[in-house]
């Protein structure tokens, strides 16, 4: 039996207000975070959309927020979009009791927001831009804020809000509790956690594994010695490509070999310095190099849109690795091709890996033409059909796509539908035909206050010596 909201420590007025809405049983992320947050701990929560993150932070906020003086809110919820801020405010108000919940976001007049702030707002839900304006104009002061929530931190990063978020957090109380929620916890989000959370308890719900069902998956039988030639042809056909190798050494060698076949490449692995990696990623994102040759570990930092193909030069070690690598393409609603170069002695292992993912593609001869059909060159995804026997069945981690439609355009529907449910400004792809790139952590963070504790710091730097 999962605990009830009352058992998690939610006060009666919240429990009964939620019950009136038919909300009686905590969702997983709520069961995981509410007690820790009520105890005052920093929380770092990863959970997919729709998993109930608003209540996960909302219940502890409402339960423990102090009473605000004019212009000096006590709790701050930062959200990337106006729509989201409105949703959060609406949801919080259903069980906020006497706590005053209000919003600050752009695109509407200042009058109402300024009036509320003057009367006093206990919990302010805000988008970074308008909040900075209101601060500058003297209507808000964040010094009494001792509870902060950063909601949808990954989207915040995608939209370029991280510098503003940092500036805002720097103005809040040094004795604050900081909760961060996001669908992913890597890249810029990890940096925020490291710099602004203090010994956070981390709760992760759902499968972090990326959705690769928008990509076309092909498996080519290739002799070991032919792999570089085939890889070069695939890159030529697909445009920008991430090539995965097992070892650092392998990466360097393959990058060199591809280079000698006229492909502009950059290597990305743990043996390269931070500045070399940063440059490699930047050149790839800018289209100056066609292929990024990477190890699995380095690949976690690749968040570039418009990658036409992923090539598993060395077959992935297991299905999770396959999905993580493959998730570098077909992002943000665009298509992409995933190519595995399979050597004859790897077939058995590969079949077993495919079964774990619900993929059933045959291992075929090399067919570079198929890539031209499928890869989104120059960011424009092809809408043409793809050979039925190559259609992915949809991985088991994504039941919504379990019945894979036959054509590419049909197959793209699920993600299009998911987008349609959100307002335009919230679509991840709405401004991302351009390639976006997550900046790696800046080296010197000491000017930022917050958790510099060694535990969270060292965690972020764990790295396999091989990769
Ligand atoms: P997320 O922020 O993770 O995307 P939300 O917090 O917006 O998800 O919650 C999604 C929906 O689920 C909302 O309509 C919310 O009211 C509802 N919900 C949240 N928690 C519960 C619960 N414990 N029981 C029933 N419905 C819930
Ligand atoms: Mg939410």
Last residue of a domain, one of 147, 169, 204: 204
Same domain, 190 and 324: no
CA distance 81 to 64: 25
Q: In this structure, are 99 and 168 located in the same domain? A: yes
Quote the pLDDT of residue 55. 97
| Contacts with 40 (C-beta within 8 Å, 6 or more apart), sequence order | 64, 177
Residue of minimum CA distance from atom 19 in ligand 1: 52
What is the pLDDT, as a whole number, of residue 208?
60
Residue 312 and residue 244 share a domain: yes
CA of 371 to the centre of ligand 2 (A): 37
47 and 191 in a single domain? The answer is yes
pLDDT value for 375: 61
What CATH number did the domain enclosing 417 receive?
Answer: 3.40.50.300
| 297, 359: one domain | yes
Q: Which token pair is 148?
A: 């902060």
Ligand 2 geometric centre to CA of 111 (Å)? 27
Pocket test for ligand 1, best of 8, 55, 77, 156 (most atoms within 8 A of CB): 55
Residues 6+ apart with CB under 8 A from 54: 87, 88, 91, 92, 151
Determine the distance separating the centroid of ligand 1 and the alpha carbon of 53, expressed in angstroms: 7
Tell me, yes or no, whether 264 lies in a domain.
yes
Q: Token pair of 182, please?
A: 């996001």
> What is the pTM (predicted TM-score) of this model?
0.55
The pLDDT tens digits along the chain (467 residues) read 678 999 999 999 999 999 999 999 999 999 999 999 999 999 999 987 678 999 999 999 999 999 999 999 999 999 998 888 999 999 999 999 999 999 999 989 999 999 999 999 999 999 999 999 999 999 999 999 999 999 999 888 877 899 999 999 999 999 999 999 988 788 889 999 999 999 999 998 876 666 777 788 999 999 999 999 999 999 999 989 999 999 999 999 999 999 999 999 999 887 887 678 778 888 988 899 999 999 886 665 566 778 889 999 999 988 878 888 888 887 666 778 999 999 999 999 999 999 888 888 899 999 988 887 766 554 333 322 222 223 333 322 222 232 233 333 333 333 333 333 333 333 333 333 223 333 333 333 333 333 333 333 333 333 333 44
Q: Are residues 189 and 226 in the same domain?
A: no
In a domain, 211, yes or no: no
Domain final residue, candidates 179, 204, 229: 204
Residues 51 and 139 in one domain: yes
224 shares a domain with 197: no
210 domain-assigned: no
**Domain contains 466:** no
Which residue among 204, 234, 254 closes a domain? 204
Ligand 1 lining (C-beta closer than 6 Å): 23, 25-27, 30, 47, 49-55
| The token pair that represents 192 in the structure block | 């925020």
The total number of structural domains that make up the chain: 2
Does a structural domain hold residue 459? no
* Predicted pLDDT of residue 429: 33
pLDDT recorded at residue 332: 60
Q: Are residues 353 and 382 in the same domain?
A: yes
One domain, residues 227 and 269: yes
Asked if the structure places residue 465 within a domain, the reply is no
Q: Are residues 91 and 171 in the same domain?
A: yes
- Containing domain of residue 143, as a range? 5-204
What spatial distance separates the first Cα and last Cα of the chain, rounded to whole Å? Answer: 42
Ligand 1 mutation pick, 54, 59, 83, 153, max ligand atoms within 8 A of CB: 54
Q: Which of 26, 43, 52 to mutate to test the pocket of ligand 1 (most atoms within 8 A of CB)?
A: 52
Helix (H, G, I), strand (E, B) or coil at 43: strand
Same domain, yes or no: 168 and 221:
no
Q: CA 240 from chain center: how many Å?
A: 21
């Amino acid at each position: 039996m999962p605990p009830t909201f009352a058992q998690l420590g939610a006060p009666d007025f919240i429990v009964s207000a939620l019950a009136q809405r038919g909300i009686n049983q905590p969702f997983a992320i709520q069961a995981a975070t509410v007690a820790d947050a009520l105890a005052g701990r920093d929380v770092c929560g990863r959970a997919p959309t729709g998993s109930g993150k608003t209540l996960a932070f909302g219940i502890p906020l409402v339960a423990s927020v102090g009473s605000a003086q004019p212009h000096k809110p006590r709790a701050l919820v930062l959200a990337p979009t106006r729509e989201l801020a409105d949703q959060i405010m609406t949801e919080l108000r259903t069980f906020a009791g006497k706590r005053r919940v209000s919003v600050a976001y752009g695109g509407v007049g200042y009058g109402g927001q300024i009036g509320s702030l003057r009367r006093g707002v206990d919990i302010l839900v805000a988008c970074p831009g308008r909040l900075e304006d209101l601060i500058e104009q003297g209507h808000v002061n964040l010094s009494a804020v001792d509870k902060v929530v950063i909601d949808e931190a990954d989207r915040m990063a995608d939209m370029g809000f991280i510098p503003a978020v940092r500036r805002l957090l720097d103005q809040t109380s040094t004795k604050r509790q900081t909760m961060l929620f996001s669908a992913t916890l890597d890249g810029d989000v990890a940096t925020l956690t490291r710099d602004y959370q203090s010994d956070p308890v981390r709760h992760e719900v759902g499968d972090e594994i990326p959705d690769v069902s928008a990509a076309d998956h092909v498996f080519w039988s290739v002799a070991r010695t032919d792999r570089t030639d085939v890889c070069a042809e695939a890159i030529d056909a697909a445009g920008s490509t991430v090539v995965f190798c097992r070892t650092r050494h392998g990466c360097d060698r393959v990058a060199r070999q591809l280079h000698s076949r006229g492909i502009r490449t950059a290597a990305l692995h743990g043996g390269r310095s931070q500045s070399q990696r940063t440059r490699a990623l930047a050149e790839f994102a800018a289209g100056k190099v066609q292929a990024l040759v990477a190890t699995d570990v380095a690949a976690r930092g690749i968040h570039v849109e418009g990658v036409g193909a992923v090539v598993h030069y060395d077959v992935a070690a297991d299905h999770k690795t396959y999905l993580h690598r493959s998730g570098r393409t077909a992002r943000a609603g665009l298509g992409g091709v995933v190519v595995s170069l399979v050597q004859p002695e790897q077939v058995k292992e590969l079949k077993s890996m495919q079964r774990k993912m619900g993929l059933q593609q045959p291992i075929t001869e090399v067919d570079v033409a198929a890539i031209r059909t499928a890869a989104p060159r120059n960011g424009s995804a092809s809408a043409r059909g793809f050979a039925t026997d190559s259609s992915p069945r949809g991985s088991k981690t994504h039941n919504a796509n379990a019945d894979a439609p036959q054509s590419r355009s049909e197959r793209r529907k699920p993600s299009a539908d998911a987008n349609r449910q959100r307002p335009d400004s919230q679509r991840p792809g709405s401004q991302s035909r351009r390639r976006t790139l997550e900046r790696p952590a800046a080296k010197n963070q000491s000017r930022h206050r917050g958790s510099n504790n060694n535990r969270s710091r060292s965690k972020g730097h764990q790295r396999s010596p091989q990769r």
